[in-house]
Amino acid sequence: MLKDGDTLRVPRFAQEVTVIGEVQYSTSHLYDPSLSREDYLRLSGGATQKADEQRIYIVRANGSVAMGSGSRWFRESGSVQPGDTIVVPLDVERMRPLPLWTAITTIIFNLAVAVAAVNSF
């Protein structure tokens, strides 16, 4: 609640960096120019096991997107700025262990049946 004589100051620019997605704790951190993208990820507890760490990207305050850690362009302009959002996506290509081993054993079984059928003639 504001009272008589209170002053409300609204900054012209966002002063936080938000980390969302597959991190331990999605939150916003106060912008610090000395911190890197990895530092902000660490402040959020790091990536989860389901994270796709190769496709982390930054949504800039102006709406543009800085993609992936592997590109040369990203390293040159990849510094985190006030108002940015760091997004850690889910690794959708990762296969869970049980379906993976089920698929492998099914393939091996079918190959063994095929070899047995060929040898029986």
Express each pLDDT in 86-95 by its tens digit: 999 988 777 6
CATH number at residue 35: 3.10.560.10
Query: Residue for token digits 């609640």?
Result: 1
Give domain status of residue 78, yes or no: yes
Model's pTM, two decimal places?
0.65
Give domain status of residue 24, yes or no: yes
What is d(CA 42, CA 27) in angstroms, rounded to the nearest whole number?
Answer: 12
What is the distance between the terminal CA atoms of the chain, rounded to a whole angstrom?
89
Give domain status of residue 107, yes or no: no
Task: Give the tokens for residue 20.
Answer: 């969302």
Domain range spanning residue 27? 16-88
Q: Which of 67, 60, 102 is nearest to 82 (CA)?
A: 60
pLDDT tens digits for range 15-33:
899 999 999 999 999 999 9
The listed range with the strongest mean pLDDT (12-16, 77-81, 86-90, 106-110) is 86-90
Give domain status of residue 101, yes or no: no
